[in-house]
A and B are shown apart, each in its own frame.
Chain A
Amino acid sequence: MSGLLMPKADDATMSRRPDIVTALRAIVPGEGVVDATNAMRVFESDALTAYRQLPLVVVLPQTVAQVSRILKYCHENNVKVVPRGSGTSLSGGALPLEDAVLLVMSRFNQILEVDYPNRVAVVQPGVTNLGITKAVEHEGFYYAPDPSSQIACSIGGNVAENSGGVHCLKYGLTANNVLGLEMVLITGEVVRLGGKHLDSEGYDLLGLMTGSEGLLGVVTEVTVRILQKPATARALMVGFPTSEQAGKCVADIIAGGIIPGGMEMMDRPAIHAAEDFVHAGYPLDVEALLIIELDGPVVEVDHLISMVEAIAYKNGASTCVISQSEEERMAFWAGRKAAFPAVGRISPDYLCMDGTIPRKELPKVLAGMRELSEKYGLRVANVFHAGDGNLHPLILYDANIPEELHKAEDFGADILRLCVKVGGVLTGEHGVGVEKRELMPEMFNEIDLNQQIRVKCAFDDKHLLNPGKVFPQLHRCAELGRMHVHRGQVPFPEIPRF
């Protein structure tokens, strides 16, 4: 594992490995404990494949009682634990440690209850995000947050990362759609937060747990809100001569009281890469392209489409196409959803960044990126969740050229610093994990970080759960926030990423 400093493996724990394996086998019988090197190989990284590490041992419990006993054992014996869902993290949140038990929750894959009158579903954490929607869609319902990896990512992982998606300006993040959790503390104690009812009788521990990246507890059950599917959805594809005009259009739509279901922006390099790849019909003579989706009752969507069209032309749109069919709407999206692989076609390698900025700062940030692009001599293509300000710059480089990876990494770090400088943040949806932990001081001072670590202390005083993630280690290292993609070898190639 080059360049990444993880907590030093504890020799005493390593030497106790046979005892630990035996103890785990006594808790989870049969194939639930994996200790053979070859069999553990599939767990050695998550979707941030730049980093790999074999765990001490893998355990796949099936019951809450087993999770409780595993954690209690580890707590009493000072053994570290790394929880893992589907392993789709883009920030190394589920990266194993040499001296830690890898606690894999994939066997918790049951939908426990669907309650339509109360509009909730109670599921186990290993159920996939899309699996919830699949279980309720025959009744016209769905689960709203839709991270791009939704066919594979687990709801437990969504809770750990507070996952978003393209619809979160209107429908909220995971934190806004989860009503209750059952979780096991590192001591083995089982606690329930919330449920089918709303809000907490005390501190908002549910809010703290969501997005805590597996450092505070292990989720064993999740209660989520399910919603009635919108009656219809239509999209506009709008091209602009400048990104400033596109940005102004977004601001005017929101100022007009309209909250679109989705609002995505692409810059010229991203438009060209996507169009060359999937031939979505994107205009090639524009600097910025917006895809704006309105959803809801038919009457409302028709009303809003005409309002948005007027706003687009008022802001100097050079082209504005309105979807007239579901096929056409999907075609508008096809290019956007193919943007990452499309960039992978025009460059041997790319890094995917994930910052969020105040929307109005987009022109400034794009201009700053152009300057950085010249400085580093590397191309960059941008896709942007324009509604919520989440920016995904894709930095193009060739790992076979000496020093180019290093240059790309420096470029990426400069972009994230620029995001923070204009009032934004280091990560909008991919998480800190191991990937961006050393950049945390760009956003937080020592007091800020210490107070976060004190929350960790309240939940896990021995720091046994997922150590080495989120918070800066004692020494800096050069690794900075990005997803490595080499020669199109995207981690989990079958999962769309956008």
Chain B
Amino acid sequence: MTIFTPKTEDEIVEAVQWALSENAPVEVVGHGSKRNLGRPLQTEHTIALSEYSGVTLYEPDELVLSAKAGTSIVELETLLAEHGQAFQFEPMDYGPLLGQAAGQGTFGSLLATNLCGPRRLKSGSARDHVLGVRVVSGRGELFKSGGRVVKNVTGYDLSKGMANSWGTLGIATEITFKVLPAPETETTLVVRGLADDEAARAMAIAMGSSGEVASAAHLPLNVSGRVIDGDLKGDASTLLRLEGFAPSVNDRAAMLKGLLASAGTIVEVAGDTSHKLWQQIRDVIPFADGTEHPVWRVSMVPMEAYKLVASLRMGAAVDAFYDWQGGLVWLRMEGEPEAEAVRALIKKYGGGHATLVRASTSVRAALPVFEPQPAPLAALSKRLKQQFDPSGILNPGRMVAGV
């Protein structure tokens, strides 16, 4: 067993070329914080990028940041915060949900797993903010795509092509992201006591208004008490986050309170508490219970998702809460993952996809962790993998068995 910890881009190329020459599949990791996510690997060797780190370009006035793949996300967020900026896509931290320490993730994983957070609806995910990449493909060749500017249509967008590829196409050695000003002020309106379907309608009204709502989430009664030290316990909470300059935030909060006056009692969670609340929703803290009970991450049409949860509840013990105006459902199963039932219901209610983000290693090896694709699409994905990694040496089987 060999663990490569390359310190230069040349060493990354050499490590991949070694794997090619030995025909030895390798696991590609940063610090390994997401080993318990996705399909488990059975490779003998590892390329760990943890020592290939550092910021290579940060120009706040230009809204651009480049760093090497092994750089700590927390360090980068701290650097950005010092300049009043942030990754607007608000990357979640899987650590707490997977029973690990928070703050372990590396920069490369932002794109490789296409991380995002509660601002997804308004601000997109990592794939919407990536500007350029340098990548070592499974052919052991270093290529670049994109650049450091926002407006660029020169050639195919291989930067986006690397998004959500889980290290199976190539090793992104250096990535350039657009960064943006962090909001000056934030506050959260909390509508109390709504059922899931009522919450979906209230969130749709808010998101479709001129209130410029940055995030909309719904915590049903039994989840509501598990955030911000139990401040919201006792009733379901439908949350609307407003961000921006203070006069604008205040104005929009007043408008939305009027718009939703008939929906239920509205309270406000302001400032740092609001910030903490959305971080906890982002990181799925309500289900970070130290167990291996299966947790699904389901992306669906916002107005359909609550129907999936209602149907599941008739046959199994599930806990659920919603982000993205209802379109992102976090499901915690008390017993079995019920993969077939979950996926059949997604198809029934408008389509989407479910990822089994927490389960024991044996369960993740036995079940399709990622949503299976229809045959022509699965074949296309496989052809793409072959074009980047014809020998199948990079993270084989990480996403789909045999690919």
Contacts and interface: CB of A to CB of B under 8 A. Distances in A.
Interface of A: 116-119, 140-141, 161-162, 164, 168-169, 172-173, 175-176, 185, 189-193, 195-205, 207-208, 210-212, 228-231, 251-252, 254-259, 296-300, 303-304, 356-360, 385, 388-390, 423-432, 436, 440, 443-444, 447-452, 454-459, 470
A230 B147 contact: no
B4 interface: no
A212 B300 CA distance: 27
A455 B156 contact: yes
Nearest to B390: A454
Given A208-B156, A425-B154, A448-B144, 20 more contacts: A117-B303, A119-B208, A161-B153, A172-B124, A173-B151, A175-B128, A196-B351, A202-B373, A204-B161, A204-B162, A299-B248, A356-B147, A425-B152, A431-B153, A443-B154, A443-B155, A447-B141, A451-B158, A455-B156, A470-B156
A296 B328 CA distance: 27
Contact of A228 (B60, B208, B386): B208
Interface stretch (B17-25, B269-277, B312-320, B375-383): B375-383
Nearest to A193: B377
A488 B310 CA distance: 63
A172 B122 CA distance: 11
Contacts of A254: 61, 63, 181
Most buried by B among A202, A298, A304, A456: A202
A204 B160 contact: yes
Contacts of A389: 149-151
Given A207-B127, A303-B245, A389-B151, A196 B301 contact: yes
Contacts of B215: none
B142 interface: yes
A207 B150 contact: no
A265 B181 CA distance: 22
B229 interface: no
B14 interface: no
Contact of A296 (B60, B153, B212): B212
Interface in B126-172: 127-128, 137, 141-145, 147-158, 160-165, 169
A207 B142 contact: no
Contacts of A161: 153
25 contacts: A116-B204, A118-B302, A168-B150, A168-B151, A175-B157, A176-B124, A195-B301, A197-B352, A197-B353, A199-B299, A212-B157, A228-B212, A251-B61, A254-B61, A254-B63, A303-B247, A360-B62, A388-B150, A427-B153, A431-B153, A432-B155, A440-B155, A443-B147, A451-B388, A458-B387
A429 B151 contact: yes
Given A118-B204, A201-B353, A455-B384, A297 B60 contact: no
Nearest to B83: A255
Interface string B365-403: 000001101101100110110111000000000011000
Contacts of B59: 358, 360
B209 to A, nearest CB: 6
Contacts of B62: 251, 358-360
A27 B303 CA distance: 39
B41 interface: no
A203 B384 contact: yes
Nearest to B88: A259
Contact of A385 (B127, B151, B158): B151
A254 B179 CA distance: 11
B252 interface: yes
Interface string B289-314: 00000000001111100000000000
B350 interface: yes
Interface residues of B, number: 87
Please provide the 7 A-B residue pairs with the shortest distance between their CB atoms, ordered closest to farther.
A207-B160, A300-B248, A257-B181, A201-B353, A201-B371, A428-B151, A197-B352
B180 interface: yes
B96 interface: no
Given A161-B153, A296-B248, A432-B153, A175 B160 contact: yes
Contacts of A257: 84, 181-182, 184
A456 B380 CA distance: 11
Contact of B61 (A117, A190, A360, A431): A360
B278 interface: no
Interface in B62-86: 62-64, 84
A9 to B, nearest CB: 26
A160 to B, nearest CB: 10
A436 B152 CA distance: 13
B373 A390 contact: no
A472 B120 CA distance: 37
B357 to A, nearest CB: 13
A449 B245 CA distance: 44
Interface of B: 59-64, 84, 114, 116, 120-121, 124-125, 127-128, 137, 141-145, 147-158, 160-165, 169, 180-182, 184, 201, 204, 207-210, 212, 244-245, 247-248, 250-252, 255, 299-303, 324, 327-328, 350-353, 355, 370-371, 373-374, 376-377, 380-381, 383-384, 386-388, 399-400
Contacts of A388: 149-151
A205 B350 contact: no
Contacts of B383: 457-459
Contact of A455 (B124, B152, B161, B245): B161
A357 to B, nearest CB: 7
Given A230-B210, A424-B147, A211 B381 contact: no
A305 B381 CA distance: 48
Contacts of A176: 124, 128
B60 A458 contact: no
A424 B355 CA distance: 38
Contacts of A451: 137, 141, 143, 145, 158, 388
B165 A428 contact: no
Contact of A304 (B63, B245, B381): B245
A203 B381 contact: yes
A436 B213 CA distance: 41
A210 B152 CA distance: 12
A256 B60 CA distance: 10
B144 A444 contact: yes
Contacts of A162: 153, 157
A458 B120 CA distance: 30
B208 A117 contact: yes
Contacts of B145: 448, 451-452
Nearest to A298: B251
Most buried by B among A116, A300, A388, A431: A300
B248 A203 contact: no
Contacts of B154: 425-427, 432, 436, 440, 443
A140 B336 CA distance: 45
B164 A203 contact: yes
A385 B152 CA distance: 13
Contact of B350 (A196, A202, A211, A359): A196
B180 to A, nearest CB: 7
A119 B155 contact: no
A73 B373 CA distance: 26
Contacts of B116: 199
Given A203-B164, A356-B152, A300 B247 contact: yes
Contacts of B182: 257
Contacts of A440: 154-155
Given A172-B128, A202-B381, A207-B161, A118 B301 contact: yes
Contacts of B201: 117
A300 B251 contact: yes
Nearest to A196: B301
